[in-house]
Amino acid sequence: MLLLLVGRCPSLAQSRITLSGTVRDARTGEKLLGAAVFVAGSATGTTTNAAGFYSLTLPSQDSVRLTAGYLGYQRQTVTLSGRQTATRAFALTADNELAEVRIRASQEAPLERRVEMSTLQIPVAQLRKLPALLGEPDVLRAFQLMPGVQAGREGSGALYVRGGSPDQNLTLLDDVPIYYVSHIGGFLSVFDANAISDIRLIKGGFPARYGGRLSSVLDVRLKEGNKQKLSGSAGVGVLATHFSLEGPLNKGKTTFLVSGRRGNLDLFSRLASARSSGGNSVVGYSFYDASAKVSHQLTPRDQVFAALYLGGDRLFITQKPQTIPSPQGSYTYQGGSDLRFGNALASVRWNRELTPRLFGNATLAFTRFHYENGQYYHLESSTPGSTRNEDSEAEFTSGVQDAQFKADFDYYPSPWHQVRFGSSIIRHGFTPGVNYFTTRTTQAARDTTFGSSKVAARELSVYAEDEIRLGARLSANVGVRAVRYAVAGRSFGSVQPRVLATWLVGEHTALKASYASMQQYLHLLSNNGAGLPTDLWVPATARVAPQRARQVALGVAHTLTKWGLEISVEAFAKQLRNLIEFREGATFYNSSQDWQDKVVTGGRGRVQGLEVLVQRKTGRLTGWVGYTLARNERRFDQLNGQQWYPYKYDRRHDASIVGIYALSARITLSATWVYGTGNALTLAQGNYSVISQSYGSTPKSYIPINRYDYLAAELYGPKNSFRMRAYHRLDIGATFTKPVRHGERIWRLGAYNVYSRHNPYYIYYNQTPEGTKQLKQLSLFPFLPAISYERSF
């Protein structure tokens, strides 16, 4: 048991004390996750957990100089008695509250000394200064600029991490999984930057506390609310309008946060569609996000939280009644379609400092993703002496919902150990796809329901991990996760070992290595060809086995203290097993066939890559340069002659340059440039003519007609053996901040795709008047300017 690893034996004989407490933002009272707390002038220290809690057990001494630091904040050092256990809370002041712009050394633990690898973090304040599509800051787009992370297609906010697909990313909102993370078309994520306090992406070297997905963990934390005063902001841009409000309900004890965001696109689409159709039809698209959180300090050692998130999208087409005259009378038709999907999440969490060395967290949560696509029409026919009405509705629904209870503990037996352990149980409810048809006429009515039946599953997991220091140079995180999954009378079990080690080979250089075994009990079936999010979450079953992955990574981390640069180089290899894909021609809709009959199973994947990241986090000029060299391949026994082929989002080269320059305390300039090898696709390599005899018919039988047609047949080679053109673009932005009475005024100006590169969205064949085929490219976004306004108080 990892709890038995309690540190260096000689120190156990000494009298010991424990110093514990929290680290917060001095202005808002927000807890700071991952803040460094250490004994000044030594390497003895720790970091705060997700609740901002730290604990250090030290030998008894006359006094201890304890320092707390966090990126973007001024360090704070206090002198405490070293003779008795004590509690000390730190309140750090943000650097950006200083009147002048200063270049400062990093206030967090250096990259080479962190017991982590393949982990990316972008401060929310920095994220809000990056150029954004149509002026709306977006979390997922920011991470797409990092090595090892790719977008699928132009404008998409989906994350393809180290060769994995979007469903292989575990996305947590305040420790609760959320299933659909993008609004329609993938152009914007569901996360409102105004409601987020911390966000990080883990690509490999996964700690044992995370599980259930294969490729990454996106850990998003909502703000708790300002403890000192009422504050908020409101803004409007081309893409969305948003507001946020936070403050104390009971000063010092209870805080709240509410935020909301609504898409503005339907304001334009309604007018444009009505005008183009002469008022006969209206097309609208809208989305919304709403978050709320309340935190209450029950006692100095107990805190409870309640959080709620609701988000959804709607795309609709409404045709107004149209009357068509005929010789027999008249016909009146009215119809339309309505696509809706979205997330709902609710959680209650209790944090307790059980002892100065043991911290506990219990969470009860519910999360749901629902998809609904419907069509309807009303037909009224009038003839002399009679009227006939017909109403018809067709609807396809799908979804998944989870109820979860989890308990997590952090134990700090000594400065050389931070032990985490816990367990969770999840009840999954899947609706893979159900079709509803209703037809009512003047004379009769008919209702029909068919499709895949609902499925329930249970997932029980336990884990333990120990972040341990073995001497001055070697540190490691060693853990294991065990899972038992049951569905439809069948159960699966797995034991998933995890290990990550860091070896200091110099004052500012470290070698790092990691291994992680992962298993995933959910599958996502996506129909990307329609351009709309038609996603089905389905469970692993006796016929469709759980997905598995193993990943190893080796890297070197180095800090150039003179220039404030962090440099990391990582090589990784990943193996994927039990992947699934839709069979050719399979569809979700209008089919009574079970989804398990529509997929090919047993797919394998292999991904290898090299990632380079040079990053500067402090000073007037911040940003990073990233590069990825990778190979991403798949193989199915039923496809491509059982040969390996490039995955559709395989990119051999992927590069990005990001720069943010503080011209003054009020003006910030930013720019990003990205380049990527074109996506892989399958095209015909040639064609040939086939003679086909035509047939006519008589009422009695089919009789051949002496006529022959020549049909063109296409000849295909290996799957995904062609490439689209390379993708690249330049975005620029500027942020103008001005203090005003009771707050700030912020203008954001920017431009997407500055030199209007015609990047391919998809490729298709076009028939020319001469009868030949030409390969055409559809480009989605040309040069797009953006402007937004925000007012905070």
pLDDT (tens digit, 9 = 90+) per residue, 657-679?
Answer: 999 999 998 999 999 999 999 88
CATH homologous superfamily for 2-109? Carboxypeptidase-like, regulatory domain (2.60.40.1120)
Mean pLDDT of 559-587: 85
Mean pLDDT of 295-300: 92
Cα-only R_g, the chain: 29
* Rounded Cα distance, 30 and 247, in Å: 11
Residue 448 has pLDDT above 70, yes or no: no
Are the CB atoms for 343 and 367 separated by under 8 Å?
yes
DSSP state of 544: S
pLDDT in tens, 171-193: 999 999 998 888 876 678 888 88
Residue 589 has pLDDT above 80, yes or no: no
720: alpha, beta or left? (left if phi > 0; alpha if psi -120 to 50): left
Instruction: Write down the pLDDT at residue 315.
Output: 85
Look at the alpha carbons of 39, 42, 46, 48 in this order and tell me if their dihedral is positive or negative: positive
Mean pLDDT of 316-345: 80
The percentage of the chain sitting over the pLDDT mark of 90, rounded to a whole number, equals 37
- Mean pLDDT, the chain, rounded, equals 83
Report residue 442's pLDDT band, with 50, 70 and 90 as the boundaries. low
The overall pTM is greater than 0.75: yes
Instruction: Write down the pLDDT at residue 537.
Output: 82
* Rounded Cα distance, 473 and 58, in Å: 19
Residue 583 has pLDDT above 80, yes or no: no
Q: In degrees, to the nearest 5, what angle opens at C-alpha 704 toward C-alphas 703 and 706?
A: 140
Residue 5 has pLDDT above 60, yes or no: no
Other beta carbons within 10 angstroms of residue 208's beta carbon come to: 26
Instruction: Write down the pLDDT at residue 286.
Output: 87
pLDDT in tens, 374-433: 887 777 777 766 777 777 878 778 889 999 999 999 999 988 889 999 999 999 998 877
The percentage of the chain sitting over the pLDDT mark of 70, rounded to a whole number, equals 85
Instruction: Write down the pLDDT at residue 592.
Output: 58
Closest CA to 28 of 261, 244, 175, 234: 244
Other beta carbons within 10 angstroms of residue 680's beta carbon come to: 21
The CATH architecture to which 119-682+785-792 belongs is Beta Barrel (2.40)
Report residue 699's pLDDT band, with 50, 70 and 90 as the boundaries. very low
Instruction: Write down the pLDDT at residue 552.
Output: 97
pLDDT in tens, 58-79: 888 888 888 888 877 888 888 8
Report residue 531's pLDDT band, with 50, 70 and 90 as the boundaries. very low
Name the CA dihedral angle for 208, 213, 219, 222, rounded to a multiple of 10 degrees. -120
pLDDT in tens, 79-111: 888 888 888 889 888 765 433 333 343 455 677
- 């008695």: which residue's tokens? 81
* Rounded Cα distance, 62 and 79, in Å: 10
Structure tokens at 119: 């982990």
Mean pLDDT of 680-698: 64
Mean pLDDT of 129-150: 85
Instruction: Write down the pLDDT at residue 104.
Output: 40
Instruction: Write down the pLDDT at residue 733.
Output: 93
Report residue 16's pLDDT band, with 50, 70 and 90 as the boundaries. confident
Residue 30 has pLDDT above 50, yes or no: yes
Are the CB atoms for 500 and 475 separated by under 8 Å?
no
Instruction: Write down the pLDDT at residue 700.
Output: 42
* Rounded Cα distance, 351 and 158, in Å: 33
Per-domain boundaries in the chain: 2-109, 119-682+785-792, 685-716
Are the CB atoms for 295 and 253 separated by under 8 Å?
no
Residue 55 has pLDDT above 70, yes or no: yes
Residue type, position 329, single letter: G
Residue 203 has pLDDT above 60, yes or no: yes
Mean pLDDT of 524-532: 53
Instruction: Write down the pLDDT at residue 12.
Output: 39
* Full DSSP string of 188-205: SBS--GGGEEEEEEE-SS
Residue 2 has pLDDT above 50, yes or no: no
Structure tokens at 33: 């996750």
Residue 209 has pLDDT above 50, yes or no: yes
Report residue 529's pLDDT band, with 50, 70 and 90 as the boundaries. very low
Structure tokens at 637: 């026994």
Residue 530 has pLDDT above 50, yes or no: no
Mean pLDDT of 352-359: 93
Q: In degrees, to the nearest 5, what angle opens at C-alpha 447 toward C-alphas 445 and 452?
A: 170
